[in-house]
Structure 1
Amino acid sequence: MIFIVTLVFHILLGTANINISKLQCPLLLTMPNIVILIAIV
């Protein structure tokens, strides 16, 4: 679980560097969004 979250954050920081500012608040507040992002990626 921790590995997956770390991997997703690496993907966000690397690929969606611009979008992370938009997703930063909901990402930090709600963990399920990370699961949704995994499904998208």
Structure 2
Amino acid sequence: MDVLNVENELREVVARVVTQVELSNKQGRLDINLAMEDANLSIPCL
């Protein structure tokens, strides 16, 4: 896996995290741990 692909995958993961946290905050769910449980992330192996 080349560096560009790794960077792109990490950007996608971070974007999903940010989106999930924003949605959780709008719903009044301020516990970051619960938001991350709902994010259902697959972090690429480096």
Query: Where on the TM-score scale, by shorter chain, does this alignment land: which range?
Result: 0.3 to 0.5
Taking structure 2 as the reference length, the TM-score comes to 0.40
With CA pairs under 8 Å and 6+ residues apart, which has the higher RCO, 1 or 2?
Answer: 2
Larger Rg: 2
- Pick the structure with more helix per residue: 1
Give TM-score scaled by structure 1 length: 0.42
